[in-house]
Structure formats: C-alpha cells, structure tokens
Amino acid sequence: DGCIKAVGQADVIRSQFSEAMFERIIDCSGKCVLPGLVDAHTHPVWAGDRVHEFAMKLAGASYMEIHQAGGGIHFTVEHTRKATEDELFTTLQHRLGRMLRAGSTLVECKSGYGLNLETELKMLRVIERAQKSMDIGISSTYCGAHAVPKGKTATEATDDIINNHLPKLRELKLSGEIHVNNIDVFCEKGVFDLESTRRILQAGKDIGLQINFHGDELHPMKSAELGAELGARAISHLEEVSDEGIVAMARAKCAAVLLPTTAYMLRLKQPQARKMLEEGVIVALGSDFNPNAYCFSMPMVMHLACVNMKMSMNEALAAATINAAYALGKSDTHGSLEVGKQGDLLIINSSRWEHLIYQFGGHEALINYVIVKGKVVYENGRCETMSSY
C-alpha cells in the first residue's frame, strides 16, 4: 500500500522479515536514509520568462517598482492567461521533475497568476492533472487573491472572489473535478488589506479549505494575529511579523512557513526564525519557487535557513520535513519515517545526513535515490561511481 511497514535496528528487521520476499533490496551501507523533503510554498504554474527583471533588481529596483513598471505579477498574469492548459502542464511537469530530483516528495502548488475565474480554474486543472499523473505528492492551493487585477479595486476583487470564484470552486470540489486543499491571499499594503483578507479567508474556510496565506512580508499588517484568530493552518513569509503575532501563532499552533530564498533574492530583512522557535512556533520551510525566486531545491533552502536565519541543521531538517507536512495538514501521513506513514524517502550518498545541508547546491551528486510510496522514482547513477563526498 506504499506505507512504511517497520522501522528499527537492522538485526531486528532482518529477523522480523526473514521469510519475506522483496521485489528489490537497496544496499544503504555508508549512506543515509531520510524522510522525503516537503516544500511548503511554491508557485510553479505560469508562463512568461522574467529573467530580465533580475538585472533590474540587481540595479536596485524594488519589488514594487518592478510591479509598477509593468513587470512582476502582472507580466506573468498576462502570459499565463494566453497560455494553453497543455503548455502550462508541460512546464509544470518539468519544474516538478526538477523538485523531485532535488529531494522534494510533497510540494504545495498555488494558482494565482490568473486573477480571473477562467485562468485560475485553468491553473487548478493543470495542478489536478499533475496530481493524477506524477509521482510527486501535491497539496493544491487556490490563490486567486495574489494581486488586484488591473481595472479593479481591492474591494471589487474581493467581492468577485467571494461571489464568483469560491462558489464555482465549491461546485467543482463537490463534483470531484478539482481537489483543492488550501486558500491563500496576499495580505499586503497596496494589495489586499486586513479586512479583505479576512473576508476571503473566512469564505474559503466555509467551503472546507485550509487557511494558508502570505502575510507580513513587506509591511507589518497584523496578518499573524489575523491568522491565529481565524484558525489558519499556516502563514508564509512573516519578515515583518510583530512580537504579538509570533506569540499568537505559537498559541494557535499556526505554522510559520519561512522562505529564506525570497529574503535573500529581494534583499529583505530575514524572518526571525530564532525568535519564533524560542516562542514555540512550528517553523516550516518553503522554496517559494516562482518567477521572482527561481529555486527548486529544498537542500539549498535549508542551507540558507541555517546561514541567514541562524537555524541549526536539525531545526532546518525538521522544518523541511515534518513541520512542512504539518503546514499542509499532512503530518499524520508524511514528513517522517514512522510505521504506517507513506513511504517517501531519500537515500543520500554519504554516511552523514548533514551533507544534504552543508553542500550548497551539491544535491545533484548527493541524492542517490528518491522513493515515493515505496517506489523508486529517481535513481542517480552518478552516485554509484563517486565516493560519498
């Protein structure tokens, strides 16, 4: 059934299964077995390359300045609206394949580059196709409130989402055509304010979606306090979170999905991982893969979390496995090697697991096998010809 049957000392396992027949045995001598990595925040469905914006950013343009110059989300929205479902699916397959080879076995995937009902549904159908046809696990997120569409006010956009998008989504969920897990809003100054965010998140919760949203990224918005009050499963970014917000999230067992790639690439203030951990917040990690933060690799995210956010390697590994699974409401089935949980694991070509974090960008020659539901979905031949370092 793709679930873990036993975990324990080698001799105990050997005697317990001495009569059993196995389709395949992998010799892990001198290697490490780890849970599959969980990427708790990605935007992988979009069309239109934004590589030219990187030069603008390096020259000092801010996120909002690029946005106002016709770049940013609106550039991607324009191209995503024009793209066919098949085109979007082909690029999504390619991106998820790269994530899988970098060790991610469960990934949260957002819509949000449509901003109209038709394109948002197109994106969700593309995610649904990937869920059905690919080995990688997917948690699907409706993020129609990613930006205010051109020609609309935030209030008009909010009304459209509540009166048109969500009822349609509920209908498609009930008929089994689309399986959406989470609702997301970009709660930010100049985007969706606290009241609009509250209305959308509550409406999403009312149709059975988990609340998992962007908050307190560029400006302090009291998003963390709102999330705690609404029973949010997780809040992402939190670079500008207040001390009160941190305490509220700890009390509410609301996970903080921290994205060290975004702070690094946009040269923002780093999220306060240490303070959150000390206050008892469940800290998870995500790559924030999107045209603005082009990173597929959770090992690199863990490395950045340790160096820039002062997390320990143990904390980073927990944040990229069991805590990230918790942020997606999946910690009972994913994120750790325990009997009864889904058999998602990595085998790395080193006797010390820390190499997965210590080597910055070295995962291409370090991850030997990626296993999903007990099936080898990626085997890296290069590892067999190389020593473990």
Model pLDDT for residues 279-314, shown as the tens digit of each residue: 999 999 999 999 999 999 999 999 999 999 999 999
Strand order of the β-sheet with 255-258 is 37-39, 104-110, 137-145, 182-185, 210-215, 234-237, 255-258, 283-285
Question: So what's the pLDDT on residue 70?
Answer: 82
Calpha distance 225→248 (Å, rounded): 6
335: left (phi over 0), alpha (psi -120 to 50) or beta: left
Arithmetic mean of pLDDT over the chain: 96
Question: So what's the pLDDT on residue 267?
Answer: 87
Contacts of 153 (CB under 8 A, 6+ apart): none
**The pLDDT of residue 178 is above 90:** yes
Question: So what's the pLDDT on residue 388?
Answer: 60
**The pLDDT of residue 40 is above 80:** yes
Across the range 341-362, mean pLDDT stands at 96
- DSSP-assigned letters across all residues of 284-353: EE---BBTTB----HHHHHHHHHHHS---HHHHHHHTTHHHHHHTT-TTTSSS--TTSB--EEEESSSST
Q: How does strand 345-348 pair with strand 367-372?
A: antiparallel
Tokens of 31: 């290697």
pLDDT band of residue 389 (cuts 50, 70, 90) is low
Could you give the percent of the chain with pLDDT greater than 70?
99
Question: So what's the pLDDT on residue 63?
Answer: 77
**The pLDDT of residue 136 is above 70:** yes
Question: So what's the pLDDT on residue 138?
Answer: 98
Q: How does strand 182-185 pair with strand 255-258?
A: unpaired
What are the C-alpha distances in Å from 51 to residues 14, 224, 309? Answer: 52, 32, 26
301 phi, psi to nearest 5 deg: -60, -45
**The pLDDT of residue 72 is above 70:** yes
Could you give the percent of the chain with pLDDT greater than 90?
91
Calpha distance 387→389 (Å, rounded): 6
